[in-house]
Copies of this chain bind each other. A is one copy, B any other.
């Protein structure tokens, strides 16, 4: 199966009186995310499901992906919040694969450095913080069809919007 890790678009700056979870995408962030989503759609990509961090800037990003037609389904997933644990997601994946017949294309929308770290864990089995993932950037992985994907996945895509648009 293919797994796409998508970082949220450009969001408003953190401010002392704003809760980090409440930061929203800027107009430029929305626009660039929309362009990236359209490009993915033009490559005939379609996700069976988008799992998103519950933080607003991630949910807004996931909603844009859905609106552009990349998926009809979004679910919030708590472990996609900053510092979330990949192993919670790996357990979820095992259950999802058991309980769904469609399991080819999955997207996760979340944050850095977590998404880069998750990708490293899936591909190399450990985290070294060496993947650069810009806002609205994308990582594409091929996971083995069965079994634990940690250290068993392949990396076929890593790009920022700059290269992609």
Contacts and interface: CB of A to CB of B under 8 A. Distances in A.
A153 B130 contact: yes
Given A124-B130, A130-B123, A130-B124, A157 B153 contact: no
A158 B160 CA distance: 10
B128 A155 contact: no
Interface in A111-165: 123-124, 128, 130-132, 140, 142, 153-160, 162-164
A98 interface: no
Tell me the dominant secondary structure on chain A's binding face. mixed
| Copies held by the complex | 2
Contacts of A162: 43
A163 B130 contact: no
A154 B130 contact: yes
A96 to B, nearest CB: 23
A156 B164 contact: no
Contacts of A164: 163-164
Contacts of A128: 123-124
A104 to B, nearest CB: 17
7 shortest A-B CB distances, which residue pairs? A132-B156, A158-B158, A123-B130, A130-B154, A132-B154, A159-B159, A131-B155
Given A124-B130, A130-B153, 17 more contacts: A43-B162, A43-B163, A123-B128, A123-B130, A124-B124, A124-B128, A131-B154, A132-B142, A132-B154, A132-B156, A140-B163, A155-B158, A156-B160, A157-B159, A157-B163, A158-B159, A159-B163
